[in-house]
Amino acid sequence: MGDIKVRGKKEDEDEKAEVDIWNYVFGYVKIAVVKCAIELGIADAIDKHGSPMTLSQLTTTLKCEPPRLYRIMRFLVHYQIFKEEPVTQDSFGFALTPLSRRLIRHGERSMAAFILLESSPVMLAPWHSLSARVLDSGNSPFETAHGKDVWSYAEENPRHSKLIDEAMACDARVAVRALIEGCPQVFDGIKSLVDVGGGNGTALSMLVKEFPWMHGINFDLPHVVAVAPKVDGIEYVGGDMFECVPKADAAFFLWVLHDWDDEECIQILKKCREAIPQDKGKVIIVEAVLEEDKNDKLEFVGLMLDMVMMAHTKKGKERTLKEWKYVLGEAGFTRINVKPIHTVQFIIEAYI
C-alpha cells in the first residue's frame, strides 16, 4: 500500500507539471493580452457605459474588428478578468469584475499605468539578460539593454520618466490608503514630512490631505519635481538624496530603498538621520519585508519584486527583516517597529 501511495503522489505531481509547464511556455500571453485591453480601453468603455456591453457595442465604441475583439474577450473572460452577463433573453454583454476595475486608467484603485510600465519594451528588454546578470557582477540587465541605468535613461527620456511616475502613483494610491486605514498613528505628532524620492507627489498629497497639520516636502531629482503637479501644503525640492535631505520631523520612503544596495541605503539613511530631530525624529519606510509572514497571500509579490530589482537596477533588492535591521543599524537607527498593512508592503518605523 505504501508503494501505491508514493506512486500515486508522483503521478499527481507529474500530471500537475504537465499542466503547469504550459503556463511558463506561454506565460507572457496573459500580460500581453491585459496590456492590449488597457490600450484599447475596454474597461474604461464598459465603466463609462454603466452596464454590460455587447460585442457589437464594444466594437462600435472601440472601433475594433469584431472577430478579433471577441477572441480577446473570450480569453479575458476565461481568466475572470471580465465576465459575461445577460443583456436580453437572446444576448449577453461583457461586464466589469473587481479585477478589471483595476484596469480602468483613472480608477481609484487602477494599476493600469503600472502594467503599462512593466510591459513596455524598455522594461521588458532587460529580462533577456537576467541569466548573464546571475553569472556576472558587471552591468545590470537594464544597462546591458539600454547603455545606461534606469534613472539616467528616464532623465533623458521624459516619456518613460512620466510612465515611471504614473506607475509609482498607482502603487502609492494603494499603499498609502492601506497605511492611512491601518496605521494612522504613525503620523501622530509629525508637523513636517519629507517624502524622499516622492515622484509626482501622489503619496504625499494623500497624506497631507488626510493629516492637514503636516507640511509636506516632495523631494526628488530636479527633472522629476519640475513636472510634478503642484498641491497646496506641499513644498517641492529638487536634489540628490545621496548628498542632502531637506530637514523635517520625519522622512518617508515608499518603494525607494529597494532600488539600492546596502551601502547606498546606509548612505541615504545617514543623510535622513542628519535631517530629522535627534530627540523625536524618525524614518518611515514602506517596503516589502521578505519571509516575514508565511500566511501572507501577497508574499509572492515580494519575491517577484526581488527579481524585478535584479533586472532593472544595478544592486537593488528586496530585504528580509534581518537585512532591514542591518542597514538601519549601520545608519545609526537604534530602534525599529515593523507593522503589516493590507498590501504588498510593510511599515517600518526607525528611530535614532
Q: Where are the domains of the chain?
A: 9-101, 173-351
Number of Cβ atoms within 10 Å of the Cβ of 68: 10
CA neighbor of 69 nearest in space, from 90, 42, 45, 46? 42
pLDDT digit string (tens) for the chain, length 352 residues: 455 555 577 788 888 899 999 999 999 999 999 999 999 999 999 999 999 999 999 999 999 999 999 999 999 999 999 999 998 888 899 999 999 999 999 888 899 999 999 999 999 999 999 998 888 767 889 999 999 999 899 999 999 999 998 998 888 888 899 999 988 999 999 999 999 999 888 899 999 999 999 999 999 999 888 888 888 889 999 999 999 999 999 999 998 999 999 999 999 999 999 999 988 889 999 999 998 776 678 888 999 999 999 999 988 999 999 999 999 999 999 899 999 888 888 999 999 8
Task: Output the 3-class SS for 71-108.
Answer: HHHHHHHHCCCEEEEECCCCCEEEEECHHHHCCCCCCC
Note the pTM of the prediction, 2 decimals. Answer: 0.86
267 in Cβ contact with 216 (< 8 Å): no
- Scored b (16 or more CB within 10 A) or e, 87-115 reads beeeeebbbbeebbebbbeebeebbbbbb
Q: What is the homologous superfamily of the domain 173-351 according to CATH?
A: Vaccinia Virus protein VP39 (3.40.50.150)
CA neighbor of 253 nearest in space, from 275, 285, 228? 285
Q: Which of 146, 160, 258, 312 is catalytic?
A: 258
**Could you give the CA distance from residue 175 to residue 255 in angstroms, rounded to a whole number?**
10
CATH architecture assignment, domain 9-101: Orthogonal Bundle (1.10)
Give catalytic status of residue 258 as yes or no: yes
Q: Are strands 92-96 and 82-86 parallel, antiparallel or unpaired?
A: antiparallel
